[in-house]
Amino acid sequence: MTHSRNVRPSDRREQDTEPDYVCLLQDIAVSFGERDVLAGIELSISATDRIAVLGDNGSGKSTLMRVIAGNLAPDRGQRTMNAPGAVAYAAQNPRFAQAMSVQHVIDSYHQRFRELETLMRVISNRLDDAPEDQAQRLLQQLQKVTDLYEAADGYSLAPRLDSALEQLGLGQMDRQRPVAQLSGGQSSRLALACVLCSGAQLLLLDEPTNDLDETAMNWLERTIDKHRGALVLISHDRMFLKRFARSIIEVSDGQLAHYGNGYDGYLHAKEQERTAIRVAYENWVQEYERSQNLVDKYASRVAAIPRKQEKAGFGHGNFRARDSSHGSTSKIRQAKSRIEELETHRAPEPAAELAFVMPSGGEGQHSGETLLKVMNAQRSIAPKLSTGSFEIKLGERWLVTGSNGAGKSTLLKMLAGELECTAGRIERAAHLHCAWLRQDIGILPGDSLIEAFASATSQYVQDAGASLAKLGLFAPQDFLRHPMALSVGQRRRLELAVAVSTKAQVLLLDEPTNHLSPALVEQLEAALVDYPGTVITVSHDRRWQQKMREHAVVHRLSVSAGRVELVK
């Protein structure tokens, strides 16, 4: 329904003024089934904004991007666009029609260029037979269309696209090949190349750094540096966030929280939030204890007051006069009332600092003691892997690098004793315990999150609840959720909770930054600094590798085509 209203001259001037946004979201709500993913959010994106969207997996980041792109209609609210230079969206896992070829996909992303090219051809053809009075008007139209085409760098589109595909490892791809034959990574890189060559005013990039090698990453960063329009991105790459994000939006419980001053400003604000929660809780505890002490103090004073005594010569039933301490009962009532108020408005308990611990008696082990001795260990059956000889000692930090599928996860499983050697051997110290953060999370036991945690940490369910709650990785209402109903990010946090709660001399971390929020990754890194045991990490994360080198000597293993080499 449209409502009419009187428009004052000042209102007309405001309407004639160009809006200062390229995208405006007002009261947007999106639900999937009974779950409210976005609930009444507001967002304005200006022409030069560079925004990073952060949050746990499943929090609604990609849903927000789809709403901005216009690919998903909200259940409520309004999306208003003011982007004459168009919007281009590179999804993390793009989906294309089965019948489309690679060229069809390219054309679908560059439809604006094809429309302008068609329009220029039509106008040019009409010019051939147009009388002089119409020709002038057609020439003006042709000039306008040509200006739009040139402004979007249409004449350089083909060579720019060729270069982009080459840099992303797709240069030799047959463009008539069915897109259904591409891997997920190839499809994502194809979409990324098309979007970054589109010349769009607003770029939306969902995890653009995934599966990129160093050459592709350098090209991506150079290309984004040249972009002069608006940018909204989702990324777990903290170096990438630090370089390109001027402001941060965090998605949590269907709401958006806004942070300024880039990624560093976001981290500072999150630390201030944690500090505020801790201070509020400490004040609550102090006030609760003070009120309880008052109750105990005045209760003992009242107990010491004689209640009823006979006075000699005056018969029964008479009382001694009470002194001023008889006001204690009112003070007790006041203190109890305050306790009830505090219990009703209980301050949230701050999450415990993440901390990894050694097994009992492990502190008596000496730094430098050999924990793992690898002697030309080999597997001749799948998954195949062969190693040289090296020793891993207590307290050391090891980084395992290599391309996807090279055998890095297989190496960790061999070190942990989960995969047997068919030749050579791996010797392990007596009573060696390993804790895992796996890249691929298997089936979780139990009928609830808390049962899965209790089973993995060998605790009773009643005890496990308190242990899990203090970590602050889950809301209490999630404890009874079935493991199969957990998001990928929640399953990853459960793995982290188990690792933190397992006493071990060796931590095996397989892509530890995957599916964890950047703020939680920062806490994980801080916890590892003080851990006296050994940490063996597989990670492509540039910031993780950088911080490892900042805090310790890092030993490196390189895995390539099923062969492990010690990097000296």
pLDDT of residue 537: 95
- Report the relative pairing of strands 434-437 and 423-428 from DSSP bridges: unpaired
| CA atoms of 384 and 379, how far apart (whole Å) | 5
* Residue 84 preceded by cis peptide, ω within 30: no
Give me the percent of the chain exceeding a pLDDT of 70: 91
Rg of the chain (C-alpha set)? 32
- Report the relative pairing of strands 563-567 and 554-560 from DSSP bridges: antiparallel
Domain extent listing, the chain: 19-85+201-260, 100-194, 264-304+325-350, 369-433+503-567
- Beta partners for residue 259, in sequence order: 248
| CA atoms of 489 and 302, how far apart (whole Å) | 56
Distances (CA, A) of 31 to 59, 72, 277: 12, 11, 30
Q: How confident is the model at residue 193 (pLDDT cuts 50, 70, 90)?
A: very high
Average pLDDT, the chain: 87
pLDDT of residue 308: 58
Residue 362 has pLDDT above 70, yes or no: no
Element (H, E) at 171: none
Q: Which residues of 305-321 are buried (b: 16+ CB within 10 A; e: fewer)?
A: eeeeeeeeeeeeeeeee
On the question of a common fold for 19-85+201-260 and 369-433+503-567, the answer reads yes
Regarding the domain delimited by 369-433+503-567, which CATH topology (the fold level of the hierarchy) does it fall under?
Rossmann fold (3.40.50)
Residue 182 has pLDDT above 50, yes or no: yes
Helix crossing, 111-129 with 132-151: angle to 10°?
A: 160
Residue 38 has pLDDT above 90, yes or no: yes
Token reading at 403 = 């391309």
Q: What is the mean pLDDT of residues 70-89?
A: 93
Interval 515-551: pLDDT, tens: 888 888 999 999 999 899 999 999 988 999 999 999 8
Q: What is the DSSP string of 55-68?
A: --TTSSHHHHHHHH
Residue for token pair 């994502």? 188
| CA atoms of 431 and 412, how far apart (whole Å) | 18
pLDDT of residue 69: 95
Q: How confident is the model at residue 149 (pLDDT cuts 50, 70, 90)?
A: confident
Interval 310-352: pLDDT, tens: 555 555 555 555 555 556 788 888 888 899 999 999 998 888 8
- Beta partners for residue 50, in sequence order: 231
Element (H, E) at 147: helix 132-151
**What's the pTM value of the predicted model, to 2 decimals?**
0.81
Interval 103-133: pLDDT, tens: 999 999 998 888 888 999 999 888 888 888 8
pLDDT of residue 24: 96
Q: Which CATH number fits domain 19-85+201-260: 3.30.1540.10, 1.10.150.120, 3.40.50.300, 1.10.620.20?
A: 3.40.50.300
Q: What is the mean pLDDT of residues 370-384?
A: 94
| CA atoms of 453 and 457, how far apart (whole Å) | 6
Q: What is the mean pLDDT of residues 146-153?
A: 83
Q: How many CB atoms lie within 10 A of CB 475?
A: 10
| CA atoms of 348 and 497, how far apart (whole Å) | 20
